[in-house]
Structure 1
Amino acid sequence: MISRPRMLLSVAGVAVALALVLTMVLILGDDESPRPGAPAPEAGLDSLVTTFTSGLSADQEYRSPKADERRTAAAGFAAVLDRRGSAELASLGFSVRDGVDPATGRPYTIAVNEPGTERAWGMYVIDRSAPPSLAIEVPHPAFDLRTELFGVDLFRQVPGAVLLVAGAHRKADDSQADVAHSENSVFHVVATALAGRGLAQVQLHGFHDQNLPSTDIVLSSGATLAGDAARRAATRLTADGFAVCRAWEERCRGLEGTTNVQGKMAASDDTVFLHVEMSRTVRESPERRADVVRALVEADLRKP
């Protein structure tokens, strides 16, 4: 028979042990939970870009930058690209910061326009893992649906890529925000700066299936002559099972991009410009998106 003092001692011991365990749980917490003061996980570029584009609409505020603002944007983007500071872009309402994309582990610098104002002048992302190599352009986010996802995926596959995403819906301000057809935009300023450094441009667009029912993708060089880069892209896309309309060989129902101002600028600079129009069906399929991105990577648009 256990004596009463020994029983009380045993109960007291169990109580102390339970108290210690509870204390340790409270101090250490759940290993799966973020600890107080710990930095939040870095958002992926796809999340940053889709959050940015989800706020765009035809009735949003927008105004074209004035001549002096475009000059400031040119100088400011060059300074950020060359790591000489961000004061000039900040004066235009841009926020500039460095980050690391969790999907690739590669560092980048991102400049984003002032939110909710008429200075809706874009998002620009510079991959810092290699020297600048390819300009990837999304001029019509929220209008040519899903093109921003193609842009992010291609950016992630090309070290040194620079991603340009327009900051407004193309119909905003009575279509003055259509940066593919306006030289008076920060988007065009940045594209011009990159082409001036010899970078090739690939510009991503979309069309309704019924506009060209038998075609998945339209490729063109805009106002430039089709070079080897465009032909390589067509070959690889065709090999992946896409029906490709080659604008340098046939008519493509007004989807040739010949009035595109970035294409005209590339023609004057004698640099590569590839205009890629994708059907809605292609843009809605993650599998087809992966195929398009792989084909463009294999075409190595960085080479003439």
Structure 2
Amino acid sequence: MRLLSFLTLLLALTSTTASAQGTLWHAGTFRSLPTVSGELVTFTDGLAHPTAGGFGKLSSTRAAAFNVFLTALFTAIDASLVDGNTGVWCDVQAKATAANYAVRRFFDTTTGRWFIYGYDTSAFGQAYFFINPYAKRNLVIEVPHEPYDFNTDIQGARLFTALAARVLIINKEDRCSDPDATSCSGSTSACGGYFRESDVAHQDMSTFHLLHKWLDDQPRPSRFIQLHGMQGSSSDMAEISDSTSNDYDVGSISTRFATALDKYVPRPSAVHSCQEAVGNPPSNLCAVTNVQGRYTNDSANNACTTSTSFASDRFLHIEQHPSLRDNDNSDGYFWGDIRDALKDLWPTCDMNNGATDCTLGGAQSQYSKLECL
């Protein structure tokens, strides 16, 4: 009798454990996040990018609160992937509020997949972000200059899903909005001839940069592709840089990506790497002063003021003609060329069963909301 009782208890415990472990990440406590749904590409295209000068740099207090929020957020993601009932998503919401952020579960009606959507609730124009908890590639898509670099947000959303990437970060405030000059080094022909504080690619006190840093500082640091736009010409369709000060580095990631992109476009000679030869490409857009690139290449330096010749092999800065950003392949160029070249450059899918299935995955169920107590 005692043996039977013991076996009954053991069976009950085993069943409970199996049930808990079998709870999908999006079916458990993740449901305590408020819900937003829509077509991701259309949704990102509709995000506001104010131009009235309202941008505000992060205070040290808010920066600290945002980092606490990020730690809670990614801790909840990791816990939920193991057991959907263990992520402490109500605490994530509380820490988001303390950082003047909102965090939502976002259901993409095109792919049928759940993502995480975060946005600034203050008037200071800090970044939007989307996270795929079940990403297959540890890849971050960055869009710092929408709408100045028109259609980079749409392109970013398409790449985010097509590559099953981990994070998509999009600027909120227009890069030219703030009249104040950034204290970071560099010069530009845009925005009246100087970098503004609202230009998150050239200013390090922003949630855009803090999220980049957080993802870069992990034991398994992310790879980054930052999307930009240029007017270009038929002979200058793309200028690619690793964001170092190196003029010539045949092994650079920028040169390898350019070689990969050559296979997908009708005119390979119009694709330029800043590191492929001595001298500058036609438009000389080589991102030496980009603060995210500087940080990833050499985090020991001051990313705001100091360029570096050290190449991390994890940061790509891509300036693109409008044809490479759109969804029209009739001229031989479209966003899919960038997608395919990235797959060639970074084929490894080493997250969330990616070695078996590198796709975004099938549609997920829309479970009802849970309430935080």
Q: TM-score range by the shorter chain?
A: 0.7 to 0.9
Match in the other structure for 2:291 = 261
Moved over 4 A (4+): 224-229
Do structure 1's residue 249 and structure 2's residue 276 form an aligned pair?
yes
Pick from 112, 128, 132 the counterpart of residue 127 of structure 1.
132
* Residue 302 of structure 1, CA deviation: 6.3
| One-letter amino acid of the structure 2 residue matched with residue 266 of structure 1 | T
Pick from 339, 346, 363 the counterpart of residue 293 of structure 1.
339
CA RMSD of aligned residues (A): 2.4
> C-alpha separation between the residues in 1 aligned to 2:239 and 2:136?
30
* Residue 233 of structure 1, CA deviation: 1.9
Pick from 69, 90, 102 the counterpart of residue 76 of structure 1.
69
Any gaps of 5 or more consecutive residues in structure 2?
Answer: 1-34, 77-87, 180-195, 300-311, 350-373
Query: Is the helix fraction higher in 1 or 2?
Result: 1
Q: Kindly indicate whether the alpha-carbon contact (under 8 Å) linking 1:155 and 1:162 is maintained by their aligned counterparts in 2.
A: yes
* Larger-gyration structure (1/2): 1
Do structure 1's residue 155 and structure 2's residue 182 form an aligned pair?
no
Match in the other structure for 1:201 = 224
Pick from 23, 40, 48 the counterpart of residue 45 of structure 1.
40
The worse-fitting range, judged by mean Cα deviation, of 239-248 and 258-267 is: 239-248
* Residue 222 of structure 1, CA deviation: 0.2
Any gaps of 5 or more consecutive residues in structure 1?
Answer: 1-39
| One-letter amino acid of the structure 2 residue matched with residue 56 of structure 1 | H
Do structure 1's residue 103 and structure 2's residue 110 form an aligned pair?
yes
Match in the other structure for 1:6 = none
The worse-fitting range, judged by mean Cα deviation, of 287-296 and 186-195 is: 287-296
Change (3 A) 1:302 1:188: farther
Pick from 257, 279, 282 the counterpart of residue 233 of structure 1.
257
> C-alpha separation between the residues in 2 aligned to 1:246 and 1:275?
10
> C-alpha separation between the residues in 1 aligned to 2:52 and 2:326?
25
Q: Kindly indicate whether the alpha-carbon contact (under 8 Å) linking 1:200 and 1:302 is maintained by their aligned counterparts in 2.
A: no
Match in the other structure for 1:58 = 51
* Residue 61 of structure 1, CA deviation: 1.7
State the identity %.
Answer: 24
Change (3 A) 1:213 1:259: farther
* Residue 62 of structure 1, CA deviation: 1.2
Change (3 A) 1:291 1:97: same
> C-alpha separation between the residues in 2 aligned to 1:232 and 1:106?
32
Q: Kindly indicate whether the alpha-carbon contact (under 8 Å) linking 2:93 and 2:103 is maintained by their aligned counterparts in 1.
A: yes
Q: Deviations over 1:176-227 (max 9, x none)?
A: 1100001111100000001112101110001112xx6521111110027665
Pick from 90, 94, 98 the counterpart of residue 97 of structure 2.
90
Q: Kindly indicate whether the alpha-carbon contact (under 8 Å) linking 1:99 and 1:110 is maintained by their aligned counterparts in 2.
A: yes
> C-alpha separation between the residues in 2 aligned to 1:77 and 1:131?
20
Do structure 1's residue 118 and structure 2's residue 123 form an aligned pair?
yes
| One-letter amino acid of the structure 2 residue matched with residue 200 of structure 1 | R
| One-letter amino acid of the structure 2 residue matched with residue 184 of structure 1 | M
Query: For this pair of structures, how many residues does the alignment match?
Result: 258
TM-score, normalisation: structure 1: 0.77
Match in the other structure for 2:316 = 274
| One-letter amino acid of the structure 2 residue matched with residue 181 of structure 1 | H
Do structure 1's residue 143 and structure 2's residue 148 form an aligned pair?
yes
> C-alpha separation between the residues in 2 aligned to 1:75 and 1:135?
20
* Residue 70 of structure 1, CA deviation: 1.1
> C-alpha separation between the residues in 2 aligned to 1:41 and 1:168?
22
Match in the other structure for 2:174 = 169
* Residue 236 of structure 1, CA deviation: 1.9
> C-alpha separation between the residues in 1 aligned to 2:286 and 2:253?
16
Q: Deviations over 1:71-128 (max 9, x none)?
A: 21122122212215232222233211113322223321111112xx532111111112
* Residue 271 of structure 1, CA deviation: 5.7
Change (3 A) 1:41 1:297: same
Q: Kindly indicate whether the alpha-carbon contact (under 8 Å) linking 1:144 and 1:206 is maintained by their aligned counterparts in 2.
A: yes
Q: Kindly indicate whether the alpha-carbon contact (under 8 Å) linking 2:255 and 2:275 is maintained by their aligned counterparts in 1.
A: no
* Residue 300 of structure 1, CA deviation: 1.4
SS for the counterpart of 1:173 is: coil
Q: Deviations over 1:27-77 (max 9, x none)?
A: xxxxxxxxxxxxx9930111221111xx31432421111112112112212
